Amino acid sequence: MKRGSHILPVMESFYSIQGEGYHSGKPAFFVRLAGCNVKCTWCDVKESWSIYANQFVKIEEIVEKINRHSTDLVIITGGEPFYHDLGPLTSMLKENNKLVHVETSGTEKYSGEFDWICLSPKRFKKPLEEYYDMANELKVIVYQDSDFRWAERISSKVKKDAVRILQPEWSVEKRINPKILSYIKLNPNWRISLQTHKYLKVD
């Protein structure tokens, strides 16, 4: 397919702040693609799992919308972004001098060109091995005590200089936050991430 006619299913796109992870607090334009093969039970955007015909948008239109805003940072998320070929979109974004980040479970084949890869793996659907070497950031969602042990197993596979982040699952954050704080005091190679956009009540 020619790049000029390439389309992707966009569930939503919006200008906001990055609310979590290493780049928390930065203004960014988000492109949330529809389609997911992981389907976490505690996912807070279950609407992104399915793909509908009316969601498909030309990549030129996506980039045009992004260029209306002042940020140079674009975050592609989902769903599972790599459910799709991201090469044409990221190529056009780089031509427009954008910094391009992606948030992924790492379960689908990599495509595209990114300045930052946040790998957020899930226990019930392990990432492809290639993502361990590529990840700039490892973000593990903590729902229960056993997630700490699993986080360490995954941590041993990523690069030494990858940022290691523990993030409470939102529905249990009051119970889990004290445990994460205690854990990172004993294991200072980790840091905590909170979903600040939810506290601030922003999109």
Q: What is the C-alpha separation between 33 and 31, in angstroms, rounded?
A: 6
Provide the edge-to-edge strand list for the sheet that holds 163-168. Answer: 56-58, 7-17, 27-33, 73-77, 99-104, 116-119, 137-142, 163-168, 190-192
Assign residue 58 a region (left: φ > 0; alpha: ψ between -120 and 50; beta: otherwise).
Answer: beta
Q: Are 166 and 184 in contact (CB under 8 A)?
A: yes
Average pLDDT, consecutive stretches of 10 residues, N- to C-terminus, the chain (203 residues): 65 93 95 86 72 95 97 95 95 98 96 97 90 97 95 96 95 93 98 76 66
Q: What is the C-alpha separation between 163 and 19, in angstroms, rounded?
A: 16
Write the pLDDT tens digit of every residue in 91-116. 999 999 999 999 999 999 999 999 99
pLDDT for residue 5? 39
Quickly count: other Cβ atoms within 10 Å of residue 112's Cβ. 20
Q: What is the C-alpha separation between 168 and 127, in angstroms, rounded?
A: 20
DSSP 122-164: BTTBPPPTHHHHH-SEEEEEE-STHHHHHHHHHHTTS-TTSEE
pLDDT for residue 86? 96
Q: What domains can be seen in the chain, in order of their start residue?
A: 3-200 (3.20.20.70)
**Going along the chain, which residue ranges are E strands?**
7-17, 27-33, 56-58, 73-77, 99-104, 116-119, 137-142, 163-168, 190-192
pLDDT for residue 2? 35
Which residues lie closer than 8 Å to 189 by C-beta, 6 or more apart? 155, 164
pLDDT for residue 3? 36
Amino acid at 72: D
